[in-house]
Homo-oligomer: A and B are copies of this chain.
Amino acid sequence: MFQVIGERINTSRKKIQAAVTNRDTDYIQNDVKNQQEAGADFIDVNAGARIGHEKEDMKWLLDTIGPIATVPLCLDSPDPAILEMAYGMVDKPPMINSISLEKERFDTMMPFLKGKECKIIALCMDDTGMPVSSDDIIARAQKLVAQLESIGMKQDAIYIDPLVQPISTDSTKGTMVLDAVRQIKNQYPKVHITGGLSNISYGLPERKIINRTFVTLMMDAGMDSAIIDPLDSKIMAAIRTADMLLGNDNFCMAYLKGVRSGIIKS
């Protein structure tokens, strides 16, 4: 089944930032509970938006979320010191968001990851910027997998993010990433493919139908995880329906549950 990384606990979201600033425990706990009930498999926690407060905000968020979390957390920070603290505070092996091929991030994240029990999101980004072709995405994914394996990480702990780019700038940006994902999954069937989706619709109107149609296409190519808002019931409905159609939902159990709960509607 597709794995949903719930993206809501991020201080770049206004209401979350206000709740963090005011140390509003109920607001944060309710949001996490709602995401879990909607089917989140991981809860992303990002405290980066209040400059100078990331460490204390992350600590408070983890203290707040810990007691009610029924799923693992996805610790989202570029700072290994903050990740080190956060890693020590969680009771289930977390997902880490993220490493990339950018030299500075790579060089600081590799020692952090070595020997840790965690999953890792690995971005196909390097110091030249975003990938420019399918082959470029694939080459970057291969480098990331090889490097992460060299420090003992298993392939099924690696979540490659191919970095979705806006279709409005170039009509081949969809097939570029779809082709790459298909080839990465062929080469490494155990490696996961994840990422945000909303970049695909940047600059266009009615973005949500683009995002949910794109996740459907990406699932056919082999994407098996995404960083999304689990409270967006239309994208969740598309994911559950596509999972059923792709043979990942025996007896249509998850689909029928989604219909009964009112998430899946024609």
Chain B residues, CB < 8 A from A51: none
Asked whether, in the complex, the Cβ of A250 is within 8 Å of the Cβ of B206, the reply is: no
Residues of A within 8 A of B (CB-CB), count: 42
A245 to B256 Cα, complex, angstroms: 29
Asked whether, in the complex, the Cβ of B259 is within 8 Å of the Cβ of A205, the reply is: yes
What 0/1 pattern do residues 161 to 193 of A give for CB contact below 8 A with B?
000000110011011001000000000000000
Asked whether, in the complex, the Cβ of A241 is within 8 Å of the Cβ of B174, the reply is: no
Is A49 part of the contact surface with B, judged by Cβ < 8 Å?
no
What 0/1 pattern do residues 216 to 235 of A give for CB contact below 8 A with B?
11011100000000000010
A207 to B241 Cα, complex, angstroms: 10
Partner of A216, one of B174, B213, B259, B264: B213
Asked whether, in the complex, the Cβ of B220 is within 8 Å of the Cβ of A217, the reply is: yes
Chain B residues, CB < 8 A from A141: none
Chain B residues, CB < 8 A from A246: 174-175, 178, 217
Q: Output the least CB separation between A235 and chain B (Å).
A: 10
What 0/1 pattern do residues 26 to 54 of A give for CB contact below 8 A with B?
00000000000000000000000000000
Asked whether, in the complex, the Cβ of A217 is within 8 Å of the Cβ of B205, the reply is: no
Chain B residues, CB < 8 A from A172: 247
Asked whether, in the complex, the Cβ of A171 is within 8 Å of the Cβ of B249, the reply is: yes
Asked whether, in the complex, the Cβ of A255 is within 8 Å of the Cβ of B204, the reply is: yes
